[in-house]
Amino acid sequence: MTIEQILAVSGGVASTGALLDRGVGERAIERSIGDGRILRVRRGVLALPDAPPEFIRAVGAGARLTCVSAAVHYGLWRVRPAIGVHVSRPTRSADGCINHRVVTVPPHSRLPLVGLADVLVHVLQCRPADESVPMVECALRRGDTVAAFLESRLTGRRNGRARAALASVDLTGESAIEVVARLLLRGAGLEVRSQVRIAGVGRVDFLVEECLVVEIDGAAFHSDRQALRRDRKRNNMTVIGGYIVLRFCYEDVMFQPDDVLAMVFTALGRRPVR
């Protein structure tokens, strides 16, 4: 393999020592740097020109990415961009990074990432439930791990919040925003059933208090005229069936949750919650 190929399978970045261990000679490394095919981003760290900056940051710190910084590379659901660079460096902190020291499973086989189970544990410990629960639900729905395994890594009083977030994972969400909406509605004390099939209508996102249908519209909502007509018919059949219907989009749930709840309670007639 060429130097570029070795770097490519490692995420575009590697330590000089790792290349030397793969049989790449120092003269070949210097030639590739001189030709501009690879970059020396700092002493002991080499990268392709288009390597992800967060990979360069992690390898340069002698660490691996984890938590929300690793989520995108594992294809986990996210509701907002990662803030800061989250790494795992067991020995000491990495300058300018948020460090999650403890790891319990083997790292990614090629990329500078901790293992997926550790990513999920770190997310549960670090981020609020509206960020962590969608990621965990995504991984569990794919069969990447199981809740019991994660729970076994969340012992002790300090992990109480993380265990509570894990307990709210029920595998009914079909997207990140649906999971956030479910947490919002249940957090308000409402009885909520997800992915309920209604005769003549089909499956709806949420049935709240057995009388209110709440649908969450994604970015591809009403992609064409036929889809719009089909959705209008479905909406009408829901009303004919005796249900109240409310529809919300990503921006409503993420940026105006209080307004969403106000509309839900108004639609419910302000009656006492069971």
Is residue 58 in a domain? no
Strand partners, 46: 14, 40
pLDDT at 254 over 80: yes
pLDDT on residue 91: 83
pLDDT on residue 100: 96
pLDDT on residue 83: 87
User: Which is nearest to 195 in space by CA: 219, 165, 174, 166?
Assistant: 174
0.85 exceeded by the pTM?
yes
Distance CA 38, CA 30 (A): 9
Q: Are residues 245 and 189 in the same domain?
A: yes
pLDDT on residue 219: 55
Q: Are residues 162 and 208 in the same domain?
A: no
Q: Are residues 151 and 224 in the same domain?
A: no
pLDDT on residue 270: 53
pLDDT at 272 over 50: no
Domain boundary among 100, 132, 167: 167
Q: Are residues 157 and 217 in the same domain?
A: no
Q: Are residues 231 and 257 in the same domain?
A: yes
Mean pLDDT of 60-67: 93
Domain count, the chain: 3
Q: Are residues 192 and 153 in the same domain?
A: no
CATH of the domain at 243: 3.40.960.10
User: Which is nearest to 97 in space by CA: 53, 57, 150?
Assistant: 57
pLDDT on residue 226: 65
Rounded to whole angstroms, what are the CA distances from 77 to 63, 70, 136, 241?
24, 12, 8, 34
Question: 32-37 long-range CB contacts below 8 Å, 24 or more apart?
Answer: 32/3, 32/4, 37/3, 37/4
| More confident call, 218 vs 256 | 256
Is residue 57 in a domain? no
pLDDT at 162 over 80: yes
Sign of CA pseudo-dihedral 54, 108, 125, 191: positive
Domain boundary among 143, 167, 191: 167
Is residue 273 in a domain? no
Outline where 108-146 has alpha helix (H).
Answer: 116-126, 129-142
Q: Are residues 188 and 250 in the same domain?
A: yes
Rounded to whole angstroms, what are the CA distances from 271 to 215, 248, 268?
21, 22, 6
**What phi and psi, each to the nearest 5 degrees, are found at residue 30?**
-65, -35
* Range in 54-63, 87-96, 227-236 the model is least confident about: 227-236
Residue 160's domain comprises: 64-167
Domain boundary among 116, 136, 167: 167
Q: Are residues 71 and 163 in the same domain?
A: yes
Distance CA 189, CA 186 (A): 5
In this structure, what DSSP letter does residue 51 have?
-
| More confident call, 162 vs 199 | 162
Q: Are residues 160 and 182 in the same domain?
A: no
In this structure, what DSSP letter does residue 157 have?
G
pLDDT on residue 228: 59
Distance CA 153, CA 159 (A): 9
pLDDT, tens digit, 9 for 90 and up, residues 209-231: 999 999 998 655 445 556 656 67
Distance CA 142, CA 158 (A): 28
